Chain A
Amino acid sequence: MDFIGKRRIFLNASLLLVALSAIVLVSPGLNLGIDFTSGSTVTFRFESSDPGTAGVKAALDRADHPEAIIQAMGDNQYFVRTDDLGNSGLDAITDEVAKLDGVPATVLDTSTVGSSVAQDTVRNAVIAVLVAVVFVMMYIMYAFRTVPSSYKYAIAAIIALGHDVLIVLGVFTLLGIAINAEVNAIFIVGILTVIGYSVNDTIVIFDRIRENVTLAPSREFRSTVNLSITESVTRSLGTSLTTMTVILAMLLFGGASLRDFLIVLLSGVIVGTYSSIFIAAQVLVLWERRALLPWRRAAVSP
């Protein structure tokens, strides 16, 4: 199968997806949870009747929290997000909400994050990811030291990684609009998982290229890459299908609390598998042909 010959289609499709993700990320942007914006969240469960989103909203208006965002979670459960409630704000809300049902609604969880914490979290998450990326690049350069220009492999892997993370962020932005999915601490964990998966998947394909380059150094690089992709595509699909089986099972049978996280993982596995085959390896070929940058491509391409 000629993966390299059809690279234009895949590269353009990816460019389009990345561009779309970038656009939605800028506006409307991710639906940031309180870990990033500060504020409070409360999850209520009504024991005997369902007041509906409007009912809960009315109760929160009466409790002087008109800014509250209410989200129905099913099973008479409501997720409420407000400004920082501080020490005493929660009682005011529970009192009002209790009147809706006659019996006190059960408070399943509460969470409050101050603004300084929120800023720290964003900064630290970005630093952590960047440091991790640098170290992974260094390791790839070391692991691929037997093939010429191993730094290209490192950079190609990181380009594929950036592609994956951007698209997952884009998907999550859309989820934020569609089902009010929020970026919280567990979302960051999801992104980290995607990073781990993406790098691992890319390295498996690169490993095949490394092997084939060593076996037949004189073969044209693009043929070597194409052969390597063909040889590893079953494995890539096998692994992602099995991993997706587990994630899908948890998505279908698990509780609502992990839903957003599992969607991140699912999209990450799909995009990660795709990018290893169609982006990471293709970047290597383009680079080999000195055609990574469009203005140079015009000069070099036949």
Chain B
Amino acid sequence: MNRFRGLLLVAILVVLSVVVLTVSEFNILGFSRGGDSVLGLTLGLDLEGGTHLVYRVVPEDGREPTQDDMEGVRNIIDKRVNEFGVSEAKVQLLGGGAGTVPDRVLVQIPGQIGAAITLNFGSDAVSAQTLEDFFHDNLERPDAEVKQNENLSLTVQLDEIRAEVVDTDGTVLTPSEADAWREAVIDWFPVALQVGYVLPEIVPPAEGDDTAVDSEPEETLPTLEEVQAAFASVDRSDAEIDQIEAAAGLFSILLKGVDTSTTDDEGNPILGEDQRILNALREIGTIQFVSNQGALTQWTLGGGVQEAKNLIGKTAQLEFRYRECGDLLPPSNDIPWPPDGLSDEEWINARCTDPAYFTESATEIDAADLDDAFPDVSGGAIPRPIVTLIFNDDGGDAFFDVTDRVARQGDRLAIYLDGEELVAPSAQAGISGGRAIIEGGSFTSEGVRTIAIQLRSGALPVGLDLIQERNVDAVLGKESLKRSLIAGGIGLVMLLMFMIAYYKIPGLVASIALVAYTIMLLAIFKMIPVTLTLSGAAAVILSLGFAVDANVLIAERTKEELRSGRSLLAAITAGFDRAWPSIRDGNFSTIIVALVLFWFGDRFSTSVMQGFALTLAIGVLLSMFTAFFASRLLLRLFATSAIGNNLHLFVPVRDRGQQDQQGESSVGGNA
């Protein structure tokens, strides 16, 4: 039936929506949606829990921030947040509205608000459950949750970690809890070490040389005592050492943790304890193999609002460093060169790019002396994207000195932002005049733009003032989400019951339409995706009200048309036509309100407005769609079926008495 084609369309959409909602997570041709939340919907911070930070961007020289400043800041914060390991964080510029430069940055870090420690025992020697029990029972942290990551490392999620307490002089009064735990974990989970010694390989005697044949090997396999002494020499006489097989030189050693940290308390590099042990073991014999199980190889502290705030709020640091590349020619004739078996071609590249081969030192170039940096194109037959740098006089002089040395020695000038290498160009000659370009074979126009923005943002430091902060506990978020969902569900059921009881068939139609509406709305939220917040939920209630209103209007108008003596089908058609202008005008004015709010939304230091506006606009548009395609056509479908002969089923309860009398003639007309 042609005129029910619209109904079929709605039915298909509803089925599709159900599929979209039931498949919790999908990924088709790189288009992925969903996740492990309720129905795979994207939940806002107020429902999921998380941290909401708003920074005002204040350039340190007191001027207004420019669009480039803001993009630079966003870029930097994006990077810092990623370093912090929060991949789902959202960094958004907020500002004075259309046509003006934003002046605030909103950072939203969803989910876990507490702190997390990622640690790795180098194997699966310690299970997640064991470690969790350890945190619960021995460290008295019942809030700890441990999960195993794909690379076998373990992540301990905690509500909070008390940071170290430092007095005004910088003396540590109470060490951070995490440091104490690290010691405890190292002490608690022993490292099982196995060492196998062999006799040193005897060089086969050259042919004709018979002197070596008689000589006895002077070395013997190390004894238990020697191994014990070796451990004692590195202050680890606590190691439990067993000789497994004396003849094979096999020892098993049980150590209470090995401290693998490679820096001392002041951050100076030291030889890790594992290295020192290994060196001591090497001294007493030739090692065939060493295997260890359970050594703590990684301990990374992350998470925590405070840490996030510290990390995000820093002023960007731009550094120009002199990079002394590895020697192009062998330093002396005795050493095989290039080192480590690299080919000559590989070496030309590696000597300046592999941190193992170059050394770096600070230069006289001060980031503040960089006046400007902008993307540009080179002259010549084939223009290439380049970055132009402009220094002030001081910076120009320093830049000349450095580039002159770089050019003469074949070294590099490495430029770092926040400790991360931006670019490390070489130079043909000393560059004077304070104006330089950086070019590179792999530069793209987008790439040079990014580099220029990063250079500028580092050169013109902007301060970040934390002006708003909101933390929502994930538990609270989950609780209110659950309760709101239940309450909303109860409300919806009550509404449907009311509609059916009062409006009969039109009420039933409205109910079906509303259920379809709700399913499609949620599916749209999942597909776009719309971040669902409490204010979004409010917009859903309002649009649900409008969807109900559309159905009530159609039902009431149909009733009036029936009363005026039309046949049921004609009454439904006329009733809908009469109801449509008010549905349209009422909903359009609401959409206008939503658009204005969305337009203004980014002026507020909260995403509440935009979430509300977007959800409302989608909800209202969809309610018009369901009223037009679902309610109207369903009503006609019911009217043309056998139910259509029971006219009283189409008239609200209150009007039944008068309607029954008037209805007789209508039924007659219909037949």
Residues of A within 8 A of B (CB): 35, 43, 87, 106-114, 116-117, 120-121, 124-125, 127-128, 131-132, 135-136, 139-140, 143, 185-186, 188-190, 192-193, 195-197, 199-201, 203-204, 207-208, 210-211, 231-232, 234-235, 238-239, 241-243, 245-255, 257-258, 261, 265, 269
B438: interface (CB < 8 Å):
no
Complex CA gap A107/B159 in Å reads 10
With A and B bound together, what is the CA distance between A200 and B54 in angstroms? 35
Q: A242-B499, A265-B538 are in contact. List 8 more A-B contacts (CB 8 A).
A: A106-B475, A109-B471, A199-B593, A203-B586, A204-B553, A242-B545, A243-B549, A265-B541
Indicate if the CB atoms of B468 and A113 lie closer than 8 Å.
yes
Q: Is the CB of B600 within 8 A of A128?
A: yes
Q: Give the distance to chain B from A118, nearest Cβ to Cβ, in Å.
A: 9
Counting CB contacts under 8 A, is B136 at the interface?
Answer: no
Whether a CB of chain A sits under 8 angstroms from the CB of B399 is no
- B156-197 interface with A by 8 A CB criterion: 159
CA distance A140 to B582 in the complex (A): 11
Q: Which of A114, A239, A246 has the most CB of B within 10 A?
A: A246
Cβ contact of A189, chosen from B546, B560, B612, cutoff 8 A = B612
Q: Which residues of B contact A232 (CB under 8 A)?
A: 556
Q: A207 with B581: in contact, given A249-B490, A250-B487 (CB under 8 Å)?
A: yes
Closest to B539 in A: A193
- Other-chain residue from B470, B549, B582, B603 in contact with A111 (beta carbon distance below 8 A): B470
Closest Cβ of chain A to B656, distance in Å, is 14
A124:B494 contact, CB within 8 angstroms: no
Q: Are B471 and A238 in contact (CB under 8 A)?
A: no
CB proximity of B478 to chain A, nearest CB, Å:
11
A residues less than 8 Å from B582 (CB atoms):
203-204, 207-208
B483 lies within 8 A of A254 (CB):
yes
B interface residue numbers (CB < 8 A to A): 54, 56, 159, 306, 309, 465-473, 475-476, 479-480, 483-484, 486-488, 490-492, 494-495, 498-499, 502-503, 534-535, 537-539, 541-542, 544-546, 548-549, 552-553, 556, 560, 578, 581-582, 585-590, 592-597, 600, 603-606, 608-609, 612, 616, 652, 654
Residue of A nearest to B465 (CB): A114
A-B residue pair count with CB separations less than 8 angstroms? 224
Q: List the B side residues contacting A124 at CB < 8 Å.
A: 600, 603-604
Chain A residue contacts of B484, Cβ below 8 A: 250, 254-255, 258
Q: Contact between B488 and A250 (Cβ–Cβ < 8 Å)?
A: yes
In Å, the complex CA distance between A232 and B486 comes to 33
Q: Closest A-chain residue to B543, C-beta based?
A: A196
CA–CA, A238 and B510, complex, Å? 13
Q: Which residues of A contact B616 (CB under 8 A)?
A: 196
Asked, given contacts A197-B542, A246-B492, whether A110 binds B469 with beta carbons under 8 Å apart, the answer is: yes
Which residues of chain A come closer than 8 Å to B594, judged between CB atoms? 196
Expressed in whole angstroms, the minimum distance between the Cβ of A45 and any Cβ of chain B is 8
With A192-B593, A246-B544, A253-B486 as contacts: A241 and B600 at CB distance below 8 Å: no
The complex places the Cα of A246 from the Cα of B491 at a distance, in Å, of: 4
A112 and B51 CA atoms in complex are apart in Å by 11
Would you call A200 and B590 a contact (CB within 8 A)? yes
A86 and chain B: residue at smallest CB distance: B466
B534 with A110: CB separation less than 8 A: no
Cα A188 to Cα B534 in complex, Å, equals 13
Given contacts A250-B487, A258-B480, contact A107 B473 (CB under 8 A): yes
B609 touches A136 (CB 8 A): no
Report whether B476 and A108 are in contact in the complex, using a CB–CB cutoff of 8 Å.
Answer: yes
**What is the bound-complex CA distance between A120 and B539, given in angstroms?**
23
Which of A186, A231, A245, A261 contacts B498, CB < 8 Å?
Answer: A245
With A109-B470, A239-B552, A250-B491 known to touch, is A200 a contact of B546 (CB < 8 Å)? yes
Cβ contact of B54, chosen from A117, A127, A192, A211, cutoff 8 A:
A117
A257 contacts B534, C-beta separation under 8 Å: yes
Chain B residues contacting A239 (CB-CB under 8 Å) are 545, 548-549, 552-553
In the assembly, what is the distance between CA of A250 and CA of B542, in Å?
13
Give min CB distance, B174 to chain A, whole Å: 12
Report yes or no: A112 in contact with B469, Cβ–Cβ below 8 A: yes
| Alpha-carbon distance between A253 and B588 when the two chains are bound, in angstroms | 32
In contact, B548 and A242 (Cβ under 8 angstroms): yes
In the complex, what distance in Å separates the CA atom of A235 from the CA atom of B556?
Answer: 6
Closest A residue to B306 using CB positions: A87
Contact yes or no, B541 A250, CB < 8 A: yes
Q: Which of A234, A247, A257 contacts B491 (CB 8 A)?
A: A247
